[in-house]
Amino acid sequence: MFETLPHPKPDAILAQMAPFKVDTRPDKMNLGVGVYMNDKGETIILDSVKEAERRLLEQETTKTYVGLAGDVAYNEAMKEIVFGDAAPAGRVYGLQAPGGSGSLRVLAELMARMRPNAKVWVSTPTWPNHYALLKTGNIEIAEYPYFDPETCSVDFDAMTAKLRTLGSDDVVILHGCCHNPTGANLSPAQWDEVAEIAVETGFLPFFDIAYQGFGDGLEEDAYGVRKFASTVKEMLVAVSCSKNFGIYRDRVGCAFVMGGTEETATLANENIQNIARGMYSMPPDHGASVVRIIWQDPELRQQWMDELKTMCTRMTSLRNLLAESFRKQGGGDRFDFVAVHRGMFSLLGLTPEQVDKLRQDHAIYMIGDSRVNIAGMQEQNIDRFVAAVLEVTQ
Closer Cβ to ligand PMP, 175 or 314, answer by number: 175
**Residue partners of 11: CB distance under 8 A and separation at least 6:** 128, 129
Is residue 316 within the footprint of ligand PMP (CB under 6 A)?
no
User: For residues 326-345, which are near ligand PMP according to CB under 6 A?
Assistant: none
Is residue 182 within the footprint of ligand PMP (CB under 6 A)?
no
CB 283 within 8 A of CB 96: yes
Q: How far is the CB of 251 from ligand PMP (least distance, A)?
A: 7
Residue of the chain from 109, 208, 250, 307 that contacts ligand PMP (CB under 6 A): 208
Instruction: Count other Cβ atoms within 10 Å, centred on residue 10.
Output: 10
Q: Which stretch binds ligand PMP (CB under 6 A): 48-56, 70-78, 224-232, 240-248?
A: 240-248
Is residue 34 within the footprint of ligand PMP (CB under 6 A)?
yes
Closer Cβ to ligand PMP, 241 or 268, answer by number: 241
Is residue 242 within the footprint of ligand PMP (CB under 6 A)?
yes
β-strand partners of 235: 258
Is residue 283 within the footprint of ligand PMP (CB under 6 A)?
no
Is residue 245 within the footprint of ligand PMP (CB under 6 A)?
no
Alpha-carbon distance of 97 to 372, in angstroms, equals 28
CB 207 within 8 A of CB 235: yes
Closer Cβ to ligand PMP, 126 or 316, answer by number: 126
Instruction: Count other Cβ atoms within 10 Å, centred on residue 26.
Output: 6
Alpha-carbon distance of 298 to 77, in angstroms, equals 13
Q: How far is the CB of 332 from ligand PMP (least distance, A)?
A: 31
Is residue 376 within the footprint of ligand PMP (CB under 6 A)?
no
Residue of the chain from 16, 240, 269, 346 that contacts ligand PMP (CB under 6 A): 240
Q: Which stretch binds ligand PMP (CB under 6 A): 98-106, 213-221, 254-262, 366-374?
A: 98-106
Is residue 183 within the footprint of ligand PMP (CB under 6 A)?
no
Is residue 246 within the footprint of ligand PMP (CB under 6 A)?
no
Q: How far is the CB of 25 from ligand PMP (least distance, A)?
A: 27
Number of residues near ligand PMP (by CB under 6 A): 13
User: For residues 127-166, which are near ligand PMP according to CB under 6 A?
Assistant: 127
Residues near ligand PMP, by CB under 6 A = 34, 99-101, 127, 175, 180, 208, 210, 240, 242, 248, 253
